[in-house]
Structure 1
């Protein structure tokens, strides 16, 4: 009985399966059609197949990071409206997303009023780090302190500090929104002291540094904390309008009628010679 040789398509499918490249495998049929039709050259086909695998890998990394890092949402740099916040230097933000600061174990602090995009930019940095294969973790200041207080109460503070020190990038969001006890402030200081020059931290705050003494209930501790954070740090101050207020305004406007109400009928002008009766 004559054996039918496997087709080129079948051979490639087996090769990609053996190499465990499901992204390339999924794109194979479309790529082969483009090659046969003359739309792709052989080098372009190879590039397309490898790009499909890289894209799948990045998507999986992001999904895993979203599960383990507790990021509250997917916020990408490409979705940020720089035209709405002209106080931000786009070149600086794009440079930060190249993650050189993570390599150098530097920090980033976003300062500004509520709603101006601080959390968006912080999360987009975390996502960029996760896509590069780095471990990231997100928490509001209140949530992180609560977890440290619970760990201290149960005798697991050392282990919890070790867990929070390990990520290459830690996002600490919403500094200044809720009051912090002195005990909580001391625990947070311990965490930042451990991460100092060992890993990068991205922080957001609606308060200037001069108000951090009130936030942490201790001027001296706040000064020591700020000293460590800003030693190797990129500070981004955002001055502008609130995105959320803009969205609320746009929603309100979209719910309004598309036409103005009928104007009131014009009032009859009295003839100067008319005398009221």
Structure 2
């Protein structure tokens, strides 16, 4: 086995062995332990980069005191990652700045450390990549790529308008991952507003049909953490605005979305 110790590791272990504070076997065990720790750190770093988790957030760094509406024990239970094994969808809902992206990223980091494959993207970037693949005739391959991660994190649903046809592309991905892979979705919009978000009530209904079937919904009712020092500058009506509209039945209009011939085959 090739060893890749840090420069100082062998020296300090050897000095302890020379002083008799470590036996030969203990010194070997210490060196191997440091080697394994170094390899694990490199694995995690590479997996974070491949999963586009470029800004590392942790649950330890989340200010639960600032968001008292959050059940800390419930969030820590989610960090056990059982929802990934059950292929569930975790929805994090709340106003901008309340910590949704922090929590989603932190859960992604925990998953990477536990050896799970993770991919992070915003909804805008996701739809742009799917639209590009569709134009280039590689949509099937792109969908297959996005179905591989055990956990797919889609951030910022509702922040930017979805381009025409974007809802259909997102539906194809959700349908392909349905009951096969876990997702974490963050949004500042309630489910009843998804018809407006995607510009198509029928597609929004089809999306929610799958995304709420095996779902965990976490509502964050606090204010923006980023603006906590400037709360006096935020209009009162904005500060008191409900985070998201309550879940209501979305009235279906027209026929159900058509399934394209290519979508009738499973994505392997």
TM-score by length of 2: 0.77
2:225 pairs with one of 218, 243, 249: 243
* 1:15 corresponds to: none
Aligned residues of 1:137 and 1:171 also touching (Cα < 8 A): yes
- Separation (CA, whole Å) in 2 of partners of 1:199 and 1:29: 46
- Separation (CA, whole Å) in 1 of partners of 2:44 and 2:198: 33
Shift of 1:243: 1.5
Matching of residue 183 in structure 1 with residue 183 in structure 2: no
* 1:119 corresponds to: 101
Which stretch of the first structure deviates more once superposed, 81-90 or 239-248? 239-248
Distance 1:129 1:33, change over 3 A: same
Q: Which has the greater radius of gyration? A: 1
- Separation (CA, whole Å) in 2 of partners of 1:151 and 1:170: 18
Matching of residue 168 in structure 1 with residue 150 in structure 2: yes
Matching of residue 207 in structure 1 with residue 193 in structure 2: no
* 1:55 corresponds to: 37
Aligned residues of 1:31 and 1:45 also touching (Cα < 8 A): yes
Deviations 1:59-104 (A, max 9, x none): 2123212322222411112211111111111111111112111122
Aligned residues of 1:76 and 1:124 also touching (Cα < 8 A): yes
Instruction: Give me the CA root mean square deviation.
Output: 2.5
Distance 1:102 1:37, change over 3 A: farther
TM-score by length of 1: 0.75
- Separation (CA, whole Å) in 2 of partners of 1:85 and 1:168: 29
Shift of 1:21: 4.2
* 2:74 corresponds to: 92
Decide which structure has greater helix share.
Answer: 1
**Aligned pair count?**
231
Structure 2 unmatched ranges of 5 or more = 232-268
Aligned residues of 1:182 and 1:218 also touching (Cα < 8 A): no
Distance 1:47 1:113, change over 3 A: farther
1:229 pairs with one of 201, 211, 217: 211
Which stretch of the first structure deviates more once superposed, 236-245 or 115-124? 236-245
Distance 1:45 1:128, change over 3 A: farther
